[in-house]
Amino acid sequence: MVLLVNAAALAYYRVILEPGLAIQGQAGMLDPDQMIGEIATVIATLDPVGSVRLHGEIWSATADTLVEAGQPVRVVGRDGLHLHVVATDPVRREPASREPTLSA
């Protein structure tokens, strides 16, 4: 009987407690240090206040300049549930270079 109780306690520890204890030391999603520098997408024009999507969540945000919906922004600060962002340049794709053709 004692072995059965010990086996059940060990199984409970391994399946339930150990995974929960392992994640306690990790930074949470709302940790401001984890958000600073991240790229968000504007979903409601920032003029100067609007909304952005970051990690699948919608946040209220403020920018110093007008930023249209759909544009990327970088998170530079956070005040509670409000983000402070700056506009970023979208990645520009260069056209494929073509070798000049020689005419004879």
* pLDDT tens over the chain, length 104 residues: 888 998 888 888 888 888 877 777 665 556 667 889 999 999 999 999 999 999 889 999 999 999 999 999 999 999 989 999 999 975 544 444 444 555 55
| Cis peptide bond upstream of 48, omega within 30 | yes
Domains defined for the chain, CATH in brackets: 2-87 (2.40.50.140)
Cα(51)–Cα(71) distance, integer angstroms: 11
